[in-house]
Amino acid sequence: EAGVAQSPRYKIIEKRQSVAFWCNPISGHATLYWYQQILGQGPKLLIQFQNNGVVDDSQLPKDRFSAERLKGVDSTLKIQPAKLEDSAVYLCASSFVRTGNYGYTFGSGTRLTVV
């Protein structure tokens, strides 16, 4: 079974620029999550999708972050404009059922550096 695919693996941008990350979940997984992991901390949920609908985006900084999951499969997370504090690893995860009873499967992440 193919895992959760993310691209790019690394990205370096200047502050105030925009950036986009892409995620393709495991086939058949209806629930997709984007997490932000700042160095030295655990992942923090940004947004959760169930198919193509948003279930939870309470911790998404909506003034600069946006995400979509058209057609309920792959997803894009965008930051515009980026700030220095956005430097982090952005992890995408998916689960088969909404409750994620078997835990999530995470991708390898995109490491963003804002300079």
Partner 1 sequence: GQQLNQSPQSMFIQEGEDVSMNCTSSSIFNTWLWYKQEPGEGPVLLIALYKAGELTSNGRLTAQFGITRKDSFLNISASIPSDVGIYFCAGRNSGGSNYKLTFGKGTLLTVNP
Among 45, 52, 64, 76, contact with partner 1 (rule: CB under 8 A): 45
* In the complex, least distance from residue 108 CB atom to partner 1, rounded to whole angstroms: 5
The sign of the CA dihedral 17, 82, 111, 47 is negative
Spatial neighbors of 10 by CB under 8 A, at least 6 apart, are 110, 111, 113
98 binds partner 1 (CB under 8 A): yes
Q: What is the CA radius of gyration of the chain?
A: 13
* In the complex, least distance from residue 18 CB atom to partner 1, rounded to whole angstroms: 24
25 binds partner 1 (CB under 8 A): no
Among 2, 28, 63, 103, contact with partner 1 (rule: CB under 8 A): 103
